[in-house]
Structure 1
């Protein structure tokens, strides 16, 4: 019996980063990669598409295990097409590693949620981002057993010469326009907002709001490590609802940088953050600013110390490896 994991090529952004990370960690466990080329579902001739998929599945035989990273970020119908190809081989053990669920992300795709429920129920096991997601899918009719990912990690170690220091700074990585951070951040405060990412014309200009643009990963981690807090947040209520279920790379980025988190009380990994003393839970940006103002050096250092304890696991892919091992193990051991 062989174990395979899919990896979609020609992706960009976070989708590509996530699939590549999981694939690299899977290979360390002896799992073989299946490279899926990006195929334009709408324009590709169905016979050609079928032949291309048959080609990438060469070598997969009855009794093998497939870890299918989903979504592929193609037309949603491609997921169904590909799954039917897997089912056609017969007697496969299928694990779907759910990174995101498109109908939950995009209002225009909500109508196809039943197709995803059906897709998930075909699998033998699911890897889901959070316990909240597992509960949600169960309520929607998914009966396939699940294991929980909890957190994205990395496979790159970063060394710092000193520990992070208490600074009245709140760092935010991401699209300020999309998540509406600067619009809702308290101005006229000695707590500054440090923005990293795409510049936008709607960004609020204030003395305590600073825009830094894009950094590569190495320089970003070192800049964050100087001190302050890492914000995982949105003021868009639709995305805030989705953050109850998904897992954000921002969390692991801030933790790898060695700085405490600031998260909304509804976030999917709230309990993990509280239990491990990784940061503060608040209900508003105004409350976050007040918490930062009141933070003592001793309290800040206690967060930093707790975060240091998880750094090795985060930077050596242990969260990813664990969930892969758990899902395969549970296929065969009750």
Structure 2
């Protein structure tokens, strides 16, 4: 019996979707799970015979009692990924292959397209086991007719870094934010007393001395840059639609701040806010003004205590433990019959 995990290639180097899949596959490899790689492309006009041959190639290693972990979304068209699952289903009938879906994002909820949710629910219901981001996501999908009973929760993204974290993060009254101002527009309207240091390139000139652009940093070096920059990590969303989705999902920035050892300031309601409160990883706030006031109030001694909590907790995601735990538990549930 062999366990496999799908892994996407071919998107832009800074694609968070691809970074997440590649990282999960790398941590999976560390526990003996092998890759089923595929290339991201426009398959809309691909002839049926060529598509069938391509998918057969992806799955050619499968044999009796294997397990396939399908990272979702594939970011291909629904027709493409359904054809892939059709192929896996044939192996399930013939060779007792099991199917786990590792759901990173629920695309129609992510892009506020509820009319397509039933189509995706039908797709998920073909799995033996689902890895979902958080219990909140399961509660939402249950409303739409989710039938899968075996559920594992991811809880947080891990983080890969090629750099070794050294020393303590500097105590600074600044908020760090890893995100583009074109997507997170509150950056362009920053009026708080605490400076905002943005790890992205500006999309337009911004005459605001309180916003300092650090430039885009490749994901494998971002953790060390955040660690050396010090201060606090900000997890915030001003768009009501995106905020509602963040109540259900695991946020990639949370894992980056955690791995960097930065105390986290998080918008109340975002799914990881409970972890921040439970494990003393920072502060849950209702407004950016509250975030700014709290950061200004934290003494160096208090900062050191928070940073120590975060650094020790962050060891888990620097080692890929959230991914490894979720994958291992899902494999157990897929293999053990009730």
Q: Which residue of 2 aligns with 1:63?
A: 65
Give, in whole Å, the separation in 2 of the partners of 1:156 and 1:183.
29
Q: Which residue of 1 aligns with 2:9?
A: 9
The 1:160/1:41 distance shift into structure 2, 3 A limit, reads closer
Does the CA contact (< 8 Å) of 2:55 and 2:84 recur in 1? yes
Q: How does 1:253-272 map to 2 (within 5 A)?
A: 253-272=256-275
Give 3-state SS (helix, strand or coil) of 1:176's partner. Answer: coil
Give, in whole Å, the separation in 1 of the partners of 2:269 and 2:300.
27
Deviation at 1:39, TM superposition (A): 4.3
Does the CA contact (< 8 Å) of 2:161 and 2:219 recur in 1? no
2:132 to 120, 128, 134: 128
Give 3-state SS (helix, strand or coil) of 1:153's partner. Answer: coil
Are 1:299 and 2:302 an aligned pair? Answer: yes
Moved more, 2-11 or 285-294: 2-11
Give, in whole Å, the separation in 2 of the partners of 1:313 and 1:65.
25
How big is each residue's C-alpha offset from its partner over 1:116-154, in whole Å with a ceiling of 9 and x where there is no partner? 101111100000111211221122211212100011112
Q: CA RMSD in A?
A: 1.8
How big is each residue's C-alpha offset from its partner over 1:262-292, in whole Å with a ceiling of 9 and x where there is no partner? 1111111111111111111001111111111
Does the CA contact (< 8 Å) of 2:201 and 2:214 recur in 1? no
Q: Which residue of 1 aligns with 2:284?
A: 281
Give 3-state SS (helix, strand or coil) of 1:24's partner. Answer: helix
How big is each residue's C-alpha offset from its partner over 1:46-102, in whole Å with a ceiling of 9 and x where there is no partner? 111011111221131343211011111111222212111111222321100001111
Pairs aligned (count) = 330
Scaled by the length of structure 1, the TM-score of the pair is: 0.93
Are 1:329 and 2:332 an aligned pair? Answer: yes
Does the CA contact (< 8 Å) of 2:117 and 2:144 recur in 1? no
Are 1:186 and 2:208 an aligned pair? Answer: no
Does the CA contact (< 8 Å) of 1:222 and 1:257 recur in 2? yes
Give, in whole Å, the separation in 1 of the partners of 2:57 and 2:77.
20
Give, in whole Å, the separation in 1 of the partners of 2:168 and 2:83.
50
Does the CA contact (< 8 Å) of 1:70 and 1:100 recur in 2? yes
Does the CA contact (< 8 Å) of 2:70 and 2:101 recur in 1? yes
Are 1:148 and 2:153 an aligned pair? Answer: yes
Deviation at 1:184, TM superposition (A): 3.8
Are 1:251 and 2:238 an aligned pair? Answer: no
Deviation at 1:34, TM superposition (A): 1.1
Q: Which residue of 2 aligns with 1:137?
A: 141
Does the CA contact (< 8 Å) of 1:186 and 1:285 recur in 2? no
Deviation at 1:320, TM superposition (A): 0.8
Deviation at 1:313, TM superposition (A): 1.9
Does the CA contact (< 8 Å) of 1:262 and 1:288 recur in 2? yes
Give, in whole Å, the separation in 1 of the partners of 2:221 and 2:174.
17
Consecutive unaligned residues of structure 1, counting only runs of 5 or more, are none
Q: Which residue of 2 aligns with 1:237?
A: 240
